[in-house]
Amino acid sequence: MKHGSLAALVCLVLSVPANGDAPGVYAITNGVVHPVSGPEISGGVVVIRVGLIESVGAGVAIPADATTIDAKGGHVYPGLVDAQTSAGFASPAPRPRRGEATTTTTERRESAPAINPTPAFIALESLKLSDDDADDWRRIGVTTIVTAPTTDIFNGQSVVLNLGSGEPAGNAIRSPAAMQISFNPRRRSTFPDSLMGVIAYLRQTFLDAQQHSAALAVYQRNPAGLTRPESSRSLDALAPVMRRDLPIVFLADSEEMIRRAQAIAREFNLRYIISGARQGYRMAGDLRDVPVLVSVKWPAPPATKEDREEQPLRVIRDRQLAPTTPSVLAKSGVSFALVSGAGKAGDYFRGIRKAIDNGLSADEALRATTLVPARIFGVDRQLGTLERGKIANVIISDKPIFAKDAKVMRVLVDGREVRLAEKEEAETAAASPAEGTWNLTVRMPSGSVSIVVTLHVENGRVTGNFSGDRGSGDIRDGTFDDSTLEFTISVKSDAEAGDWTFHGTVRDSNITGNVTTNLGTFEFSGSKSR
């Protein structure tokens, strides 16, 4: 991606301090300062000394030892906080294809990503974040992220991480930040492989954590004459969660999922945060007591007109109302942050702008990306505003930060300037051949069965949904590798109930293959909708 010649493009409009990497003394002058903690200050000064903010104001004297950064015409903000990412954790590698018998199970396990999160998993200890990865965030003005894997159920303990240089340990603001939980069923035949199984699993695990603490307490009082309880890192790791010391972040997008998360939290009296919440617009009144991280990955319409027209109204309506969630929450007094959500950083600002187009004020958007997330994770004494004593995460943009063509000119993290490599104009990645809506026909003894699947491919992982003669729902365990597509759907009609696993070969806009069901294996074929 990056070439030496591009590094030379790091010529900025503004003057470059002599030693950009030292946590020295800087005075940012002449810009419009947005401290977030108070009204904006035209021509304000921000003085930074050895990593911390020393002073902010209009008439602040510029120290003699300061390097001046002239922000004339620009805007100065605290660095943004993206409070839900999965940065530093690869999306799961496509799982091996059926019939790939040449590799042994052990070999496969070794080549698979090492992450197998449990409650005891510490994100800070395992995350791998390159400078290039961090630049994706810093380039748009994000200087702090909260990150954890999102692929399993208990995804371990997240970290509030500054995007400075050096090892993650030196950049951690708070670890553990929260216990990260997703309602992800596991692969077929591994408990729990259904949503209801996931909920039962969570309930049993929390009960086990309570019992574990109770058993240890009894044993410690009476160690003689009692069988010692088994030790468990996972259940030990849940003890602070059960005590409400560590909050849970539940990934939950729909109203029903949010209510399920709330029900579990109530059942076990847990402190929690909702992340995702794209149907939050429907239930603002019930979110007043819980911090919300609204993912701005807004649902997108299908690519073709035919597919859009085939969708039921309530799907279309929901897709269009989702981006009103931030403004609805703001009006209802809900404490919410705007987050990019698991995956890439690129669409974060487009998503925020869409929320602003749907009624959120730019000021509210700024608070939701600075002070509010800092508060939600208990780091608002260090981050989130431009105030004396806070960590010197400061960004300068040429226009108001959420303006459509605003560009981030300077980024300081912990008082050190970060030199941004100029990003190549991203080639529009060629869409994967599996991407799109497919009309499939399964040839069963009782006749042909029509199923429509809409697939989205990202890094070999396939997500999407299905509908047709055998009900509808999300697809699971989807993978795509060059030409081989595999995914599973759950069929409800009793005689054919169970998982149908499709395994097919994609050629141009056609697919052929087999589908394995409880009743046997049948051929299917299909083509992509135009």
Does residue 490 contact residue 506 with C-beta atoms inside 8 Å?
no
Task: Convert residues 470-509 into a mask of x (bound to another protein by CB under 8 A) and - (unbound).
Answer: -x-xx--x------------x-xxxx-xxx-x--------
530 binds another protein, rule: CB under 8 A? no
Q: Identify which of residues 163 and 181 has a Cβ nearer to another protein in the complex.
A: 181
DSSP 241: H
What are the distances in angstroms from CA 354 to CA 5, 293, 364? 35, 16, 13
CA distance 365 to 401: 10
Does residue 216 contact residue 190 with C-beta atoms inside 8 Å?
no
CB neighbourhood size of 378 (10 A): 14
Count residues binding another protein (CB under 8 A): 72
Q: The tokens 């992340």 sit on which residue?
A: 275
- Pick from 190, 289, 429, 447 the residue near another protein by CB under 8 A: 190
DSSP 22: S
Q: How far is the CB of 203 from another protein (least distance, A)?
A: 6
Q: Identify which of residues 122 and 215 has a Cβ nearer to another protein in the complex.
A: 215
Q: Identify which of residues 122 and 195 has a Cβ nearer to another protein in the complex.
A: 195
Residues 117-156 that bind another protein (CB under 8 A): none
- Pick from 20, 94, 229, 460 the residue near another protein by CB under 8 A: 229
Chain centre distance of CA 387: 28
Extract the tokens encoding 171: 């950049």
- Pick from 1, 59, 404, 508 the residue near another protein by CB under 8 A: 404
227 binds another protein, rule: CB under 8 A? yes
Q: Identify which of residues 349 and 377 has a Cβ nearer to another protein in the complex.
A: 349
Q: How far is the CB of 416 from another protein (least distance, A)?
A: 28
Residues 360-389 that bind another protein (CB under 8 A): none
Stretch near another protein under the rule CB under 8 A, chosen from 37-45, 252-260, 364-372, 434-442? 252-260
Taking the alpha carbons at both ends of the chain, their separation in whole angstroms is 32
Cis peptide before 176 (omega within 30 of 0): yes
443 binds another protein, rule: CB under 8 A? no
425 binds another protein, rule: CB under 8 A? yes
Picking from 437, 358, 391, 325, the residue whose alpha carbon sits closest to that of residue 161 is 391
102 binds another protein, rule: CB under 8 A? no
344 binds another protein, rule: CB under 8 A? no
Q: Identify which of residues 493 and 505 has a Cβ nearer to another protein in the complex.
A: 493
Residues 191-210 that bind another protein (CB under 8 A): 191-197, 199-200, 203-204, 207-208
- Pick from 65, 167, 309, 508 the residue near another protein by CB under 8 A: 309
CA distance 470 to 389: 61
Picking from 90, 72, 80, 79, the residue whose alpha carbon sits closest to that of residue 149 is 90
446 binds another protein, rule: CB under 8 A? yes
- Pick from 39, 222, 447, 508 the residue near another protein by CB under 8 A: 222
Does residue 444 contact residue 48 with C-beta atoms inside 8 Å?
no
Chain centre distance of CA 527: 33
- Pick from 2, 3, 72, 108 the residue near another protein by CB under 8 A: 108
427 binds another protein, rule: CB under 8 A? no
3-state secondary structure of 224: coil
Q: How far is the CB of 53 from another protein (least distance, A)?
A: 32
Does residue 323 contact residue 329 with C-beta atoms inside 8 Å?
no
Chain centre distance of CA 381: 24
Q: How far is the CB of 292 from another protein (least distance, A)?
A: 19
Radius of gyration of the chain (CA): 25
Q: How far is the CB of 218 from another protein (least distance, A)?
A: 5
Burial class (CB in 10 A: 0-12, 13-18, 19+), 216: middle
Q: Identify which of residues 154 and 377 has a Cβ nearer to another protein in the complex.
A: 154
Q: Identify which of residues 50 and 218 has a Cβ nearer to another protein in the complex.
A: 218
105 binds another protein, rule: CB under 8 A? yes
Q: Quick one: CA dihedral 27, 28, 29, 35, positive or negative?
A: negative
